[in-house]
Structure 1
Amino acid sequence: MWKWLFPPPPPPPPPPMVLVPPIFDYPPLADRTRMSVPAYDVLFGKMALHYLFQEYFENDRQFSAKIMIKPMADSHVDLVATISGHVRSEKEGNAVFRWQRDLCNPHTFLEISASTSEQMLLLKLCEYHHRSGFGIFSILPLLLENRRNTHDYGMIGLRYGSECLSIGTTLAPISLHGDFPINIWAVRRVGKLTVGAQYKADAFGRELANSYNWNWAIGYGLASTSPLMPSFNFGLEFAKGSQMVASFYQHIVVQRRVKNPFELNQVVGITNYIDLGFELNRRFNRNESQNLDKVSFQLAASWQANKNILLKGKLGPSISSLVFAFKSWWKPSFTFSISAGYDRSSGKTSYGFGIRVEDLRDASYERADPNYVMLTSSKEHLAGGVLKNWETRPIFQADADSGNHDKRRPMGNII
């Protein structure tokens, strides 16, 4: 009777939320094997720029099909297979089988690669001790008929990596041209500044003193251990004694208001990811008898509007390209992409398409749920600002701050 006369107050409305979609392709496949390549090759924004400039951009009448599978019975192994080529010509295929000892540490692994274009098997082993920072890796070509250079006989690498220093070398057990070692690198980070140097022996076996074998780079930027945090990088590289490369990359995390009839009423916004990249390459003329002066550039941008749609655009000296990709987060997930390129010099338009099947991760929108413990916050602290200051602030904002988004991302405390 008392409950009828004095009913309890109604429960408070659920708090407003901002949706956090998963990254379209995260982490990049190249990020999983970065401990078996020199740190110089993946820092200074190089990996991010390569993904921005190359991923989903197919050539004229080209297609690609990729399948990525992780068996349910054993999550330590996965398989990535790719078929690509012209629609009316011979196709190329390759497959990579990977075993990873620790799911949270991708730096210790075994990979077996097979390719129809090179007609060989490639065995890659990597062991990294996280506490000491020392690692060892080896790359061994198998079943190769013609071994013409030093790399065909295999390589062994030693490295040390910490939060602010990475040094290492790649050795050739069998050297054909006296290029021993074939690679040396050193990278140092101080605050937001990163400097590095790398020596690479070429097919002619040039000595360490030859400037054509040395690359130097300096970068300034803010790195990020999570795709939900913005980052940027300015890079300047002097390569091969006659090449200057200036680059810029920025990853922006923004929120925008959204009205989605398929979502709950308390969902007031959604997180977007915007990537911008620019690269200018200038070759200097060091020989008066040859005209080597050449300037090339490329500018690209991508926008992930939600978990399903990705738009990319690229502008070069003569070719402009656009990409539309759609991803369905079923089990497994499917990604369909179509690219179009326009050659301004010839007036020709080209098209390409691709399809991917992925079963490497489970991903969905993150949101508040008292019965579910999430790996990522739902950004409830941003929802109030999206509602309150909607008329006074621009549609995009970059005050995102969250924790790790994907437990498979390599540990961020290794340079």
Structure 2
Amino acid sequence: MWNPLNLFRRAKTEEPPPMVLVPPLFDFPPLPARTRMLESAYNTLFGKIPLKCLFEDYFEDAGHFSTRILLKPIDDPKVDLVATIAGPLDHKPDERIAGNALFRWQRDIDDPNTFVDLFVSNSDPILRVRSCAYYPKYGFGAFGTFPLLLTKSPTFSNDFGILGLRYGSGNLSFGASAAPFSSIDELPRIAWLVSRMGRVTAGVQYEPIYENVDGAKYKNLMNWSCAIGYGVGTGSPLSPSFNFNLEFARSSEFIASFYQHVVVQRRVKNPREEKDVVGITNYIDFGFELHTRLDDPNQPEDGKLGSESTFQVAASWQANKNLLVKGKVGPLSSSVALAFKSWWKPSFTFSISATRDRMTGTVAHGFGVRIENLREASYQRADPNFVMLTPTKEHQAEGMVWKMGNRPMFQSDLNSGNFESLPRELRPYEKIL
């Protein structure tokens, strides 16, 4: 028998499920991750890349401006160009506007570890070439940096060019670099060994900067550094992460750092979205770093007076895909930054920061503009599988196989570490140690 209530029930069951917006991060993966294979793994692990981004990005120098353009051609996404112009807001005789550009080619759009880039600048080095070749199947790689044009004669080993070899897997990384064309006796220039066991990462690095002890630099403990860290998380921006690290640098400095990336969800009623959108994902980052001298801070080191202990604390909150708020506090100054991003093609980001000097009590501002199409907002739409953290009856709705574009995204996949169905910008960038 025909029942008119059947039509009502069928329409009710076919309603789309409640969804939570998943906006893209402003800058992920971070730009320093593209060139980490040129650096010692010791210098890029232990939370150093995310802490650097948290403490520096969008905090412009007081009284200065910066403009950055990051572009790649549509027909060849393997190449890109990054150009930067920065300088003082007011004319200062002792400062000039700095400009540079970096042209980069990489072998595969999904593999940033094999590349060649060409750097030009109006300051040293005027012209520089860097290259890296890494073979994931074997874990071995080679890298080099070659300054081709300088304004003055080479004085440091870096000015003569650097060559290095490395090995990297999921749990082990070691390597060394040298300056083979330099007459300065530094062999190796730097060497490192880092290992990961579960959630604990430990590493040691040798960098011969200080004088010999008993005829050898390696006997001088000032040339050695070691660190240990505890980390939780996958490296994807959709997954919360936690990182705590302790480092003894050059046997004279103790560094303790903490970084946490939090993925939270809040309810939202946006008239521009459909009624089935009930919430939005927010990203909150918090970092702390403490530097303490282990030797006498009044003793001079390398001709300079030692510095006392210092610290800095920073936090950021990305409310949606367009708005980012950051702040940091230190013993000498405190800063706040506000960034607005429009995800056009290319995207446009405007930022303003204010820095208060605690010694003089003055406040100075900085401005920044970025134009970019390196990272795409291909995942800013709603995802029905990201339910609100506080469950309600509306989360029992059917239709958990709805898709974002052509790619389904399941919370269970993220928890298990399966990122194959995610866009490239959402996958972890730390696949190798």
TM-score w.r.t. length of structure 1: 0.90
Distance 1:18 1:341, change over 3 A: same
SS of alignment partner, residue 33 of structure 2? helix
Q: Which amino acid aligns with 1:413?
A: K
SS of alignment partner, residue 380 of structure 1? coil
Q: Quick one: distance in 2 between partners of 1:46 and 1:293?
A: 21
1:341 aligned to 2:355?
A: yes
Which residue, out of 377, 380, 387, partners 2:385?
380
1:124 aligned to 2:130?
A: yes
Q: Quick one: distance in 2 between partners of 1:289 and 1:328?
A: 50
Which residue, out of 249, 268, 272, partners 1:262?
272
Aligned counterpart, 1:168: 175
Deviation, structure 1 residue 119: 4.3
Aligned counterpart, 1:413: 431
Q: Quick one: distance in 2 between partners of 1:319 and 1:274?
A: 22
Q: Quick one: distance in 1 between partners of 2:298 and 2:157?
A: 32
Distance 1:6 1:352, change over 3 A: closer
- 1:90-239 → structure 2 map (5 Å cutoff): 90-144=96-150, 145-202=152-209, 207-239=217-249
Q: Quick one: distance in 1 between partners of 2:68 and 2:431?
A: 31
Q: Quick one: distance in 1 between partners of 2:35 and 2:235?
A: 17
1:53 aligned to 2:55?
A: yes
Q: Which amino acid aligns with 1:232?
A: F
Identity %: 50
Q: Quick one: distance in 2 between partners of 1:32 and 1:172?
A: 23
- Segment drifting more, 21-30 vs 277-286: 277-286
Which residue, out of 317, 320, 323, partners 1:306?
320
Task: Summarize deviations over 1:321-354 as a string: whole Å, max 9, x none.
Answer: 0000000001111000000011122110110010
Q: Does the 8 A contact of 2:23 with 2:381 survive in 1? A: no
Q: Mind listing any 5+ residue stretches in structure 1 that lack a counterpart?
A: 369-377, 391-398
Q: Does the 8 A contact of 1:67 with 1:82 survive in 2? A: yes
Q: Which amino acid aligns with 1:74?
A: D
Task: Summarize deviations over 1:88-143 as a string: whole Å, max 9, x none.
Answer: 24200111111011111111101111121214211111000001100001111112
Which residue, out of 278, 286, 289, partners 1:279?
289
Deviation, structure 1 residue 285: 2.5
Q: Quick one: distance in 2 between partners of 1:76 and 1:266?
A: 38
Distance 1:7 1:259, change over 3 A: closer
Distance 1:7 1:241, change over 3 A: closer
Q: Quick one: distance in 1 between partners of 2:113 and 2:238?
A: 22
Q: Does the 8 A contact of 1:16 with 1:384 survive in 2? A: no
- 1:18-97 → structure 2 map (5 Å cutoff): 18-89=20-91, 90-97=96-103
SS of alignment partner, residue 55 of structure 2? helix
Q: Does the 8 A contact of 1:214 with 1:240 survive in 2? A: yes
Q: Quick one: distance in 1 between partners of 2:368 and 2:326?
A: 14
Distance 1:78 1:5, change over 3 A: closer
SS of alignment partner, residue 280 of structure 1? strand
- Segment drifting more, 332-341 vs 3-12: 3-12
Q: Does the 8 A contact of 1:280 with 1:297 survive in 2? A: yes
Q: How many pairs were matched up?
A: 397
Q: Quick one: distance in 1 between partners of 2:390 and 2:291?
A: 42
Distance 1:69 1:103, change over 3 A: same
Q: Mind listing any 5+ residue stretches in structure 2 that lack a counterpart?
A: 396-410
Q: Which amino acid aligns with 2:121?
A: S
Aligned counterpart, 2:11: 10
Q: Quick one: distance in 1 between partners of 2:202 and 2:330?
A: 28
- Segment drifting more, 341-350 vs 18-27: 341-350
SS of alignment partner, residue 294 of structure 1? coil
Q: Does the 8 A contact of 1:253 with 1:400 survive in 2? A: no
Q: Quick one: distance in 2 between partners of 1:142 and 1:282?
A: 38
Q: Quick one: distance in 2 between partners of 1:77 and 1:329?
A: 21
Q: Which amino acid aligns with 2:117?
A: E
CA RMSD of aligned residues (A): 2.5
Q: Quick one: distance in 1 between partners of 2:297 and 2:262?
A: 42
Q: Which amino acid aligns with 2:387?
A: L
- 1:352-367 → structure 2 map (5 Å cutoff): 352-367=366-381
Distance 1:3 1:250, change over 3 A: same
